[in-house]
Every structure is written in C-alpha cells, then in structure tokens.
Amino acid sequence: MDKVGFIGLGRMGRGMASNLAKKGFELVVYDINPEPVRALEALGARRANGVAGVAQASDVVITMLPASPEVEGAVVGPDGILANGRAGQVIMDMSTVEPKTTDLIAKAAAEKGLSVVDAPVGRLAAHADRGESLFMVGASDADFARVRPMLDAMGTTVHHCGPVGTGIRTKLVNNYLAIILCQLNAEALALSQRFGLDLTKTLEVCYGTTATNGQLKINWPNKVLKGDIEPGFTIDLAHKDLSIIIAAANAEKVPLPVAAAAREMFSLARSGKYGQADFSAMVDALCDAAGIDKPRVPEGWTPPA
C-alpha cells in the first residue's frame, strides 16, 4: 500500500485526512496550524517537518490548500514537493484552483518524472467529516487506479472526468451552478418575504415545479432557513471560486454575465459581516440590505418528499 502524505488540514482537509487514518493508510501530515496536526497524530498519523518532510516520506502526496498561490508554492517552490520528491511519486491536488495552476504543476511534475492528479472535492465539510465526499478526478488511467483506494476511503462518489486538468474544470462548472443558485434563491426568498407570503407554502410550491434546485431543497433547509449560518462553505470561498470561474471563462472567451453580477453581490455580502458565514446566508445579507425580515422555517419543519 502506498504511503500517503497530506498537506493542508483545514476545514475540509482535516476530515478527509482523518478518514484515511481511520481506514488504515500509513499517513504523514503537515499544516501550518499545529492543532489539526495533533488531532491527526491522535488517530495514528505521523507529523512531518514541513512540506519537504511530507514529500520525502510519501509515495502519494495529497494537497488540500486554500488557493492557487499556496498550491504552486507547495509543489514548485524551492522547499516544495518537486524539490524533495522523486520519480514515480503522484501528487494529488484536491484544492479549488485556477486551471492554469493545475496545468503548470502537471507540466513541472512530468519534467521530473512525477505525475499529477487533480481531484477537487464536491459536497460540504460535514460530508468530508463523514467520509461522504464526491470527487471529480483528472488523471491518467494508471494514476486513477493508484489513487482510487484513497478516494474511496474519503468519499462515496468518484467521477473520473478524463486526463489531468479535467477534474478542476468540472469542479468549476459544478461550483458555478451551486453558487449562482444561492444568489437566485436569495433574491427569490427575499421577494417572497416582501410579498408577505407564507415561507413554507412558497417552498412547497417551488419544490413541486422545475423551479426547485439542490441548494433550495437540500442545503438551505438544513442551514440558513433554520437559522444556522455556521459555514460548511463560506461566502468568502464562494467569492473566490466565482473569481476563478470568471477568469477561466475569460481565458476561453466565454461570457458569463450572470457570474459577474453574482460576484458583486458576494462582494457586497463579504464587505459586511457575512464573509465567514455559510454561502446560504446570502439571503440574510440581501434581506439586511433591503430591510426585510430573514426567512426562517418553523422548528421541526422538513421539506416534503
């Protein structure tokens, strides 16, 4: 069995790495924050001396980092994975980054005899904790077969989207829809509140038509509509992803006017108190701006089947 290194034990990475440890993988970990490292040590993982230590001790190195600069630094930086790795290793980046970052690290790795898999994560942090993540994977057939046991340990759904680079591009398409739906839902429910409509009846109507969507029916009743805006995925991160999506679309000469408008609404929300709130809290930010009561379902209410 490959020895696995894990760099980046944030809100998503900690749960993912924990599932690897619990399921018997020999694991070495590193994060700039010592607290999650200690938690992984308690599960049997070994602490590494920085990124270099992870690269030297692992056969497959997983990165789960905030954005493109951190991924590029970890992989191609002077003390990074490529400087300390060896031919035959696989780097599996699970971060949400610019496609050009994935292309850059894949090219740099190939020149040194290493390979790259891009496997960004779908679903939320709670799913990562439970080992129920969804992965969109870009990899050669051989690399996909090699990392598949790790993906199965961390999640329940694995899509091999094509060669390296297709995973992150698929993730951007998916996140575009998920994030835009939060803005659309926020506007629709704010309007329903201003109209004085019964919220649960309005939701029941929408759930029975093509107006419904996964955010409105699955995420929102478990988050903002019951008053829980603790982040599974923050407004700050959603804004970051929209920025990546727009930049990638611009590079491909694909106009995304809805994405551009939504990003400005996310900019407005994060300029106040909502940056670290769950992205479903876009409806609260909009209601605050318009002086509308925030939509909340009664305690114990559940969406109709």
- State yes or no: pLDDT of 210 exceeds 90: yes
Tell whether 76 and 138 lie within a shared domain. Answer: yes
- State yes or no: pLDDT of 232 exceeds 90: no
Structural domain includes residue 275: yes
Total number of domains constituting the chain: 2
CB distance 155 to 134 below 8 Å: yes
Q: What is the CB-side half-sphere exposure of residue 181 using CA atoms within 13 A? A: 16
Helix, strand, coil percentages for the chain (3-state, nearest 5): 55, 15, 30
Task: Determine the average pLDDT of the residues in 200-216.
Answer: 96
Task: Determine the average pLDDT of the residues in 94-109.
Answer: 97
Query: Which two tokens mark 255?
Result: 């106009």
Q: What is the pLDDT of residues 55-71, one digit of tens each?
A: 999 999 999 999 999 99
- Residue 239: pLDDT band (50, 70, 90) is very high
pLDDT of residue 125: 85
Query: Which two tokens mark 267?
Result: 């900019």
Task: Determine the average pLDDT of the residues in 33-46.
Answer: 97
Task: Determine the average pLDDT of the residues in 104-126.
Answer: 95
Task: Determine the average pLDDT of the residues in 136-163.
Answer: 98
pLDDT of residue 224: 98
pLDDT of residue 212: 95
- Residue 126: pLDDT band (50, 70, 90) is confident
Tell whether 230 and 104 lie within a shared domain. Answer: no
* pTM, full prediction: 0.92
Q: CATH code at 120? A: 3.40.50.720
Structural domain includes residue 303: no
Q: Which residues are catalytic?
A: 171
- State yes or no: pLDDT of 72 exceeds 90: yes
Query: Which of 134, 163, 192 is the C-terminal boundary of a domain?
Result: 163
Tell whether 10 and 119 lie within a shared domain. Answer: yes
Q: Name the β-bridge partners of 90.
A: 60, 115
- State yes or no: pLDDT of 279 exceeds 90: yes
Structural domain includes residue 41: yes
Q: CA 106: distance to chain centroid?
A: 20
- State yes or no: pLDDT of 155 exceeds 90: yes
- Range(s) of the domain holding residue 18: 4-163
Residue 94: Cβ within 10 Å count:
29
Tell whether 51 and 192 lie within a shared domain. Answer: no
CB distance 64 to 7 below 8 Å: yes
- Residue 163: pLDDT band (50, 70, 90) is very high
Write down the mean pLDDT value for the chain. 96
Distances (CA, A) of 20 to 45, 75, 255: 9, 21, 40
Query: Which of 109, 135, 163 is the C-terminal boundary of a domain?
Result: 163
Tell whether 114 and 220 lie within a shared domain. Answer: no
Indicate left, alpha or beta for 24 from its phi (over 0: left) and psi (-120 to 50: alpha): left
Structural domain includes residue 102: yes
Q: CATH code at 209? A: 1.10.1040.10
pLDDT of residue 251: 95
pLDDT of residue 92: 98
